[in-house]
């Protein structure tokens, strides 16, 4: 069955530190990959997405992610975090079946706490 693994449950960083959140998926076919963010008290928002092409994807707020097909990974990075990046981050993969249906499979999420 399709699954997504996020390696870190909770990450604590100081402001200006670099961030890398791991994400691995298990699926042998063509994938579409996403990172969503959930700020405290807010709804899920898309950070970035990968469908095809350049495996290095740039998103909003200075985030980027690299798709490495051979490693089944899609790690999220940011060179310098800010206190406002404190949030929960979710990696997700589309799982498609017949008739054009659409389903996201999410990882369990990584909570990021940034200390001023």
What's the closest the beta carbon of residue 49 comes to another protein, in angstroms?
A: 5
Exposed, middle or buried, 93 (CB in 10 Å: 0-12/13-18/19+)?
buried
Which token pair is 58? 């740039």
Based on the shown chain and the rule CB under 8 A, indicate whether residue 102 belongs to the binding site for another protein.
Answer: yes
Q: How many whole angstroms separate alpha carbon 33 and alpha carbon 48? A: 9
Q: Is 50 in the site for another protein (CB under 8 A)?
A: no
Which residue in the set 23, 81, 93, 107 belongs to the binding site for another protein (CB under 8 A)?
107
Chain positions 57 to 86 lying near another protein, rule: CB under 8 A, are none
Residue 35's region, left for phi above 0, alpha for psi from -120 to 50, else beta, is beta
Contact footprint for another protein (CB under 8 A): 34, 36, 42-46, 49, 51, 90, 92, 97, 99-109
């Amino acid at each position: 069955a399709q699954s997504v693994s996020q390696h870190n449950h909770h990450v604590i960083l100081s402001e200006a530190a670099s961030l890398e959140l791991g994400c691995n998926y298990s699926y042998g076919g063509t994938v579409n990959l996403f990172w969503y963010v959930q700020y405290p008290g807010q709804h899920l928002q898309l950070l970035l997405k990968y469908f095809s092409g350049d495996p290095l994807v740039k998103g909003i707020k200075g985030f980027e992610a690299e798709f490495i097909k051979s490693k089944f990974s899609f790690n999220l990075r940011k060179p310098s975090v800010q206190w406002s990046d404190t949030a929960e981050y979710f990696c997700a993969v589309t799982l498609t079946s017949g008739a054009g249906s659409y389903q996201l499979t999410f990882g369990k999420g990584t909570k990021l706490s940034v200390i001023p």
